[in-house]
């Protein structure tokens, strides 16, 4: 018992001195670090290297930057330099020497590439050649394609850990091993989100990052003639003032980028007005409207508001002036909808 | 003197005969009048005239042409004398068309009417337009052709889904035998899977490559025979917004659908379905890969400005071309020289050019330029003098003589002879 007490007392007395010794006499040659920007350089990207140290007075030290034995840059207080990253899946070791061997540090630049692709799940008409863009209340689908090579072979996705982030906040439920895709909520109206993905092989030897800025857009309503023979004339969205050489015409409204899988989605409401008179939307085709102007002045001012039953952020509207120039009622200047 | 009974009977019989003759005469004139009326009505309806089936231009075609003169101008499908060579710029069809493709080793052009889905053949050497098929497939929104004339016709079902029909022209039919060898024939084929998002075919019309909506989300790319059998999956993608490019040499590319200022990427698709990057994260990216080489033209739409770039091979440096347009308005010339022809808008007209152009809200007035990609130079070759041409879907014949395109203003079909 006495021996144990003696050992404890000795340990307690000796500890401060040991700690002091570590602080006072430790090897400072490695008290250096090199940071690189960007953290995950792409192939042939310009990389900025910065040397920092809590111990050494770098501003007054001679610093030599080298790679593969060749000097890249040197000078007193040269704490920053730049280098161009190599090709994809190559590595470049950069060394910084301070005070002619007093201290040194090294880092490896191994550029990788990750393709980060995205699209929204919003509605666009069939055969539309443009991208579906996100609007408030929609979702965004993302897909990451890492270009990691190991021993000359692509690293399979199930050997890579993916960490998805929105505005630098980790999306835990979307992240994990082999999770090459993600679905996130679209940004709020008039805002944009930064979505990024970090990928790292499970053995930690290769890593990379990609990020995209995803803006939210307002849905756009286009109005098209719906011809009995040619169908919806998607090639000609009607403008604010359009003459039409008919006395009767059907129209189709296409709400681009609304969060729905169809223009006739039950979640969408169509509020039509023609010459300031409300027109009930059809049950089967609420985005369609037919105007017969044969006994009228031939001018129809069409207004449409599209809203969503549950998504209160969605409200898109359009206005079009249509002049029917083939009407039989040229002398009767009554409004075609005034009698409703 | 009282008449005898016999006389009364004779008188009555004579009266009956007179009344009967009068009735018959009245009936004759009454019926005859109605026959004349019926005949005149029938004449007005066209009864008794030779049926238009098996003629070069069918009644449906004529009815449609007659019915839409107000909407699309004159009814004549052509603007030149049939039999004579077509003018340098030939308005092949004033009616909306769904798509077109040149025949193999020829300047003859197959095209599909948007209204009927009928296949027609335009011959610029004679300015003749011949109807090849009379199978009615109304409201065709997109058509593609193999060099054999095999056609892929795409429509929209009532529920909004996309229907795709792959067909070939019947080689002979009873109708043709009775009506002559120039008579239209049936377009025989099969309906492929619903909701095919993008499709391309090989040149001989035997195989197709397509992207179809995956019920589990995203899309699946596959190859199949023309009838949709022998399917082979290429890859799955969590995304749907792809454009597919199947080249004459069989190589395949995909590109994300473009939107102004939005980064897009394009990939080469290997036969095993693996994707290798072609262009990465380019705002408003549109691409035009070239058959039998790795040369590439690609466009950018960023900050309200269009720019066009090219590289002569996969490893070559990219050069910026001195014209402002989108790759969608360009076509590679065949041959060894890296020449392309591009329709260049006189003004972009919108900060969101692609978005507005794709949804039909923007139309351009284009002139044609010849682009020497190796030299990075461009030269104007044709400026329309009368018509405003908003070039869509340009395609070129195998000999590099003619460019066919759809005018986005009215979906009418045009051909431009490249040589003056």
Q: Which residue has the higher pLDDT, B59 or A138?
A: A138
Q: In degrees, to the nearest 5, what angle opens at C-alpha B325 toward C-alphas B320 and B326?
A: 95
Distance CA A286, CA A305 (A): 12
Interface touch B409/A227, C-beta < 8 Å: no
Nearest to B226 by CA among B249, B204, B250: B204
Mean pLDDT of A132-151: 94
User: Smallest CA–CA separation between B418 and chain A, in Å?
Assistant: 26
Dihedral sign from CA coordinates of B271, B276, B278, B282 = positive
Greatest CA span in chain A, whole angstroms? 122
For residue A133, give the chain B residue with the closest CA.
B259
A126–B240: do the CB atoms touch at under 8 Å?
A: no
Q: Select from B238, B263, B143 the least CA-distant residue to A127.
A: B143
* Cα–Cα dist B240/A119, whole Å: 8
Top-confidence residue, A18 or B242: B242
Is A130 within 8 Å of B258 when comparing Cβ atoms? yes
Percentage, residues of chain B above pLDDT 70: 84
Chain B positions touching A143 (Cβ under 8 A) are 237-239
Is residue A256 over pLDDT 90? yes
Per-residue pLDDT tens digits for A154-209: 899 999 999 999 998 999 999 999 999 999 999 998 899 999 999 999 999 899 99
Please name the residue of chain A whose CA is at the shortest distance from the CA of residue B69.
A245
* Selected residue with higher pLDDT from A136 and A7: A136
* Secondary structure letter of residue B261 according to DSSP: T
Of the listed ranges B32-36, B43-47, B199-203, the one predicted with least confidence = B43-47
How far apart CA B409 and CA B96 sit, in angstroms, is 10
Nearest CA-CA distance, residue A215 and chain B, Å? 9
Residue B31's pLDDT is 58
Residue A336 pLDDT exceeds 50: no
Per-residue pLDDT at A299: 87
- Quote the CA–CA distance of B402 and A288 in Å, as a whole number: 40
Of residues B384 and B159, more confidently modeled: B384
Q: Which chain B residues are closer than 8 Å to A180 by Cβ?
A: 238
How many angstroms separate the CA atoms of B256 and B264, rounded? 6
Nearest CA-CA distance, residue B152 and chain A, Å = 14
- Nearest CB partner across the interface for A237, out of B217, B328, B361: B361
Q: Is A78 on the interface with B (CB under 8 A)?
A: no
Structure tokens that stand for B32 in this block: 């005859």
Q: How far apart are CA B360 and CA A254, in angstroms?
A: 12
Closest Cα of chain A to B241: distance in Å?
Answer: 6
Contacts with B57 (C-beta within 8 Å, 6 or more apart), sequence order: B77, B131
Instruction: Give the Cα separation of B292 and B332 in Å (integer).
Output: 11
User: Which pLDDT tens digit goes with each residue over B281-315?
Assistant: 999 999 999 999 999 999 999 999 999 999 999 98
A328 and B CB contact within 8 Å: no
The pTM (predicted TM-score) of the whole model is 0.81
A147 interaction partners in chain B (CB closer than 8 Å): 277
What is the CA angle A193-A195-A200, rounded to 5?
Answer: 165
| Strands laid side by side in the B207-213 sheet | B196-201, B207-213, B219-225, B232-237
- Which residues in chain A touch residue B160, judged by CB atoms under 8 angstroms apart? 126, 262-264
Q: Rounded to an integer, what distance in angstroms lies between the CA atom of residue A327 and that of residue A291?
A: 11
Neighbours of B222 (CB within 10 A): 21
Q: Tell me: the pLDDT tens digits for A63-100?
A: 999 998 899 999 999 999 999 988 877 888 999 999 88
Here the ipTM equals: 0.82
Q: Do A224 and B360 touch (CB under 8 A)?
A: yes
**Residue A65 to residue A74: CA distance in whole angstroms:** 6
A-contacting residues in B 340-369 (Cβ below 8 Å): 354-355, 358-361
d(CA A301, CA A287): 16
The model's pLDDT over B309-337, given as tens digits with 9 standing for 90+, comes to 999 999 899 999 999 999 999 999 999 99
Cα–Cα distance list, B12 to B18, B25, B26, B124, B412 (Å)? 10, 20, 21, 83, 79
A9 near B CB under 8 A: no
Q: Where are the beta strands (DSSP E) in B303-374?
A: 305-311, 319-320, 330-332, 339-345, 366-372
What is the structure's pLDDT at A289? 95
Mean pLDDT over B131-160 rounds to 94
Which of A143, A222, A237 minimises the CB distance to B239? A143
Task: Say yes or no: A150 contacts chain B, CB-CB below 8 A.
Answer: no
């Amino acid at each position: 018992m006495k021996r144990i007490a003696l050992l404890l007392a000795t340990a307690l007395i000796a500890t401060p001195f040991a700690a002091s010794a570590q602080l006072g006499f430790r090897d400072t040659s490695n008290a250096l670090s090199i940071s690189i920007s960007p953290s995950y350089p792409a192939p042939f990207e310009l990389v900025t290297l910065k040397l920092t140290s809590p111990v050494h007075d770098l501003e007054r030290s001679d610093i030599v930057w080298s790679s593969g034995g060749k000097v890249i840059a040197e000078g007193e207080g040269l704490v920053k330099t730049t280098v161009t990253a190599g090709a994809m899946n190559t590595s470049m070791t950069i060394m910084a020497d301070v005070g002619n061997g007093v201290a040194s540090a090294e880092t490896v630049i191994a550029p990788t590439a990750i393709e980060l692709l995205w699209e929204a799940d919003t509605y666009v008409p069939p055969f539309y050649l443009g991208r579906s863009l996100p609007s408030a209340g929609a979702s965004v689908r993302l897909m990451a394609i890492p270009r990691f090579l190991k021993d000359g072979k692509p690293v399979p996705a199930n050997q890579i850990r993916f960490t998805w982030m929105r505005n630098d906040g980790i999306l835990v439920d979307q992240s994990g091993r082999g999770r090459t895709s993600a679905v996130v909520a679209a940004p709020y109206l008039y805002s944009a989100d930064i979505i990024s993905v970090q990928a790292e092989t499970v053995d930690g030897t290769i890593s990379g990052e990609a990020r995209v800025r995803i803006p939210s857009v307002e849905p756009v309503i286009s109005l098209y003639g719906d011809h009995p023979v040619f169908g919806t004339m998607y090639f000609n969205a009607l403008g604010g003032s359009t003459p039409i050489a008919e006395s009767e015409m059907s129209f189709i409204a296409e709400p681009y980028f609304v969060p729905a899988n169809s223009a006739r989605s039950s979640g969408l409401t169509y509020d039509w007005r023609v010459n300031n008179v409300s027109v009930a939307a059809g049950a089967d085709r609420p985005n369609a409207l037919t105007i017969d102007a044969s006994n009228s002045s031939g001018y129809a001012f069409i207004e449409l508001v599209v809203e969503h039953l549950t998504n209160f952020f969605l409200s898109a509207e359009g206005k079009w002036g249509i002049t029917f120039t083939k009407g039989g009622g040229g002398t009767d200047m009554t409004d075609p909808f005034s009698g409703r | 003197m009282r008449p005898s009974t016999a006389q009364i009977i004779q008188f009555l019989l004579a009266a009956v005969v007179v009344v009967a003759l009068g009735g018959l005469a009245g009936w004759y004139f009454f019926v005859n009048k109605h026959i004349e009326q019926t005949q005149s009505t029938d004449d007005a309806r066209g009864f008794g005239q030779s049926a238009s089936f098996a003629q070069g231009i069918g009644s449906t075609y004529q009815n449609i042409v007659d019915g839409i003169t107000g909407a699309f101008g004159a009814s004549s499908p052509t603007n030149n004398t049939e039999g004579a060579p077509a003018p340098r710029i030939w308005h092949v069809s004033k009616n909306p068309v769904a798509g077109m493709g040149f025949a193999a080793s020829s300047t003859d052009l197959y095209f599909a009417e948007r209204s009927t889905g009928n296949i027609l053949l335009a011959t610029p050497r004679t300015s003749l337009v011949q109807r090849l098929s009379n199978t009615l497939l109304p409201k065709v929104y997109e058509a593609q052709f193999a060099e054999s004339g095999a056609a892929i016709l795409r429509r929209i079902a009532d529920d909004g889904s996309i229907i795709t029909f792959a067909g070939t022209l019947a080689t002979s039919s009873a109708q043709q035998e009775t009506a002559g060898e120039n008579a239209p024939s049936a377009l025989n084929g099969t309906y492929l899977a619903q909701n095919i998002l993008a499709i391309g075919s090989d040149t001989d019309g035997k195989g197709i490559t397509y992207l179809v909506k995956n019920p589990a989300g995203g899309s699946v790319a596959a190859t199949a025979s023309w009838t949709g059998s022998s399917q082979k999956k290429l890859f799955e993608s969590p995304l749907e917004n792809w454009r597919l490019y199947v080249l004459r040499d069989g190589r395949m590319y995909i590109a994300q659908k473009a939107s102004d200022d939005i980064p897009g990427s394009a990939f080469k698709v290997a036969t095993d379905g693996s994707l290798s990057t072609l262009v990465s994260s380019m705002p408003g990216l549109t691409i035009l890969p070239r058959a039998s080489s790795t040369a590439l033209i690609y466009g950018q739409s960023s900050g309200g400005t269009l720019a066009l770039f090219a590289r002569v091979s996969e490893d070559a440096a990219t050069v910026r071309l001195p014209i402002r347009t989108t790759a969608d308005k360009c076509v590679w010339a065949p041959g060894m020289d890296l020449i392309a022809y591009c329709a260049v808008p006189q003004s972009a007209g919108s900060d969101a050019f692609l978005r507005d152009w794709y949804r039909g809200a923007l139309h351009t007035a284009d002139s044609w330029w010849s682009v020497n990609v190796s030299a990075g130079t461009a030269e104007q070759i044709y400026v329309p003098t009368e018509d405003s041409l908003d070039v869509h879907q340009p395609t070129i014949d195998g000999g590099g003589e003619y460019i066919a395109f759809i005018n986005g203003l009215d979906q009418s079909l045009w051909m431009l002879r490249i040589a003056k």
